[in-house]
Amino acid sequence: MTRFIIASMILCFLSLEGLAQSKILFSKSSGKLNSGGTLDLMIYDPITKSTNLLVKGSVKGRGEYNAATSPDNSKIIFNTYRFSGWKLGIADFKDGKLSNTRKATGRSNYEYNAKYSPDGNRIVYEEFNWGTRRTTIFVANKDGKKVTPLKNASDYDVTPDWTQNGKEIVFASGRNDNYDIFIQPFQGEIATNLTSGDANEFAPSTSRSSNKIAFLSDREGKINLFVMNTDGGELKNLTPELNTDSFNNEGFWAYKTSWSPSGQQIVFNALQGGDLELFIVNADGTGLTQVTKNNDTDMTPFWMN
């Protein structure tokens, strides 16, 4: 009995220690979504519940968002308008400050939603071609070189993320009119639909400690947070009691989900009364907590490693 208590205390300590070292990146702009506000990059501490400015929006009416860190937290990749149009910027990150921000790739298309692979050697992201109106997923080296498209991509593949082992990519796709969650080997050609149906499933993220996927869905009439296995099994609604607005395609780009490094919690944002707010919930659906409550837009959260 004593050994069990000691072991439980150690596990609890390790969990708290990991949580204390991890923070959440997100972007904030004044006013409602798509109202012309400038997006500032923020950092939130789940332990102290404090929020601080990380990067002031560099271009008025645009700014910085969709931030994600490398596995060792030494780099941050994010969307920025400072390079003439929405591009990916990479910055060094040390002691809570960014430095040496540079353009990630030399490509001309708009770029969004980048994520580092688990080993930190690659990034996956999406490109939007204004001429063809096509959104395609690409994989590149961590320095933005050797860019290659995901094979057999459709015109509407967005918000990619790597699986825990780094061998597959999970993404949302509008190839079937509504949005579904797909999984595909990043060097393979066959994409498997995990959520076929009439609902919109979007904003997927993968756990860094298990074979779980979190995503948002309006399959029950309003937007809720769901989890499932990477094979589509064990589907569960984690937020059935959360009162949210209905799905709006104009705000699709601002939604995100992200797992804590331990896989025990998920941060996500949802629309309430026209305002995007941040929430945290345990991976089993307990402990739903609202992080922000204001008249601003709080969007694209990412839980740092």
- Total count of residues recorded for the chain: 305
**How far is residue 253's CA from residue 286's CA, in Å, rounded to a whole number?**
27
Grade residue 74 by pLDDT with cuts at 50, 70 and 90.
very high
**Residue 154: count of CB within 10 angstroms of its CB:** 16
CA-closest candidate to residue 202, choices 215, 190, 221: 215
pLDDT at 8 (0 to 100): 42
User: If residue 107 lies in a helix (H) or strand (E), which one and from where to where?
Assistant: none
Q: How many CA atoms lie within 13 A of 259 on its CB side?
A: 24
Mean pLDDT of 27-32: 94
CA distances from 259 to 179, 211, 274 (A): 21, 12, 25
State pLDDT tens for residues 37-61: 999 999 999 999 999 999 999 999 9
CATH architecture of 24-303: 6 Propeller (2.120)
pLDDT at 257 (0 to 100): 99
Mean pLDDT of 74-83: 97
> Tokens 């809570």 map to which residue?
96
CA-closest candidate to residue 269, choices 245, 298, 295: 298
Please give the structure tokens belonging to residue 2: 């004593």
Q: Which amino acid is at 138?
A: F
pLDDT at 1 (0 to 100): 47
Q: Which amino acid is at 135?
A: T
**Residue 193: count of CB within 10 angstroms of its CB:** 15
| CB neighbour list of residue 31: distance below 8 Å, 6 or more residues apart | 37, 295, 296, 297
pLDDT at 59 (0 to 100): 94
State pLDDT tens for residues 262-301: 999 999 999 988 899 999 999 999 999 999 999 999 999 9
**Where is average pLDDT lowest: 39-48, 150-159, 164-173?**
150-159
**Adjacent-strand bridge partners of 193:** 182
pLDDT at 136 (0 to 100): 94
Average pLDDT of the residues of the chain: 91
Q: Which amino acid is at 297?
A: T
CA-closest candidate to residue 76, choices 93, 96, 95: 93
Task: Pick 72 or 17 by higher pLDDT.
Answer: 72
pLDDT at 249 over 90: no
